Amino acid sequence: MAEITCPECGTTTELLAVRRAADEFCRQCDYPLFWAPSSVPITTPGGNSAATLRRLPGAGGRRRVGSRICPSCGELNSLSETHCTRCDADLAPAPLPPPPPAPEPEPEPVAYVPLEPAPVAPWWTWWLLGGALAATVIVPIIYENLN
């Protein structure tokens, strides 16, 4: 057992270990003695059970081995907790879904180039072609008849 002197009123109290129990307040001024600086062990030796504190009051507190830090508020939680004791956030949130794949770029439109119509031969070329064809057929016949 160790003696702790109350910083408020100076009363000395004997404590075996600091456990944040009702007997750890000053009997004179009701000051929380677990906040007072002392050499008293935080818990009973070898007492790393579920009954032990996971943190002391204050900004940083003291970590117990195997505590889980809340991803939302930073509170220290025991390993058996599934939700934060301070903000009730999930201590093992589901991973974020992967971002959707980037959309494929649209193919560039193909420019439509209208084909120029084939030039139409003038009307007299048909007569000329017909005349040449007739001459190649008729001239040999006439030539044979003359001989």
**Residues 106-127: tens digit of each pLDDT:** 888 888 888 888 887 788 888 8
Tell whether 120 is covered by a domain.
Answer: no
Tell whether 138 is covered by a domain.
Answer: no
Q: Are residues 1 and 45 in the same domain?
A: yes
**Residues 13-62: tens digit of each pLDDT:** 887 766 666 667 888 888 887 777 665 555 444 444 444 444 555 545 55
Structural domain that includes position 62: 54-92
Cα–Cα distance for residue pair 91/111, rounded to 1 Å: 58
Cα–Cα distance for residue pair 40/4, rounded to 1 Å: 8
Tell whether 19 is covered by a domain.
Answer: yes
How many domains does the chain contain in total? 2
Q: What is the pLDDT, as a whole number, of residue 67?
A: 76
Tell whether 69 is covered by a domain.
Answer: yes
Tell whether 74 is covered by a domain.
Answer: yes
Task: Annotate 109-125 with DSSP letters as a single string.
Answer: PPPP-PPPPPPPPPHHH
**Residues 63-87: tens digit of each pLDDT:** 445 678 888 888 888 888 888 888 8
pTM exceeds 0.75: no
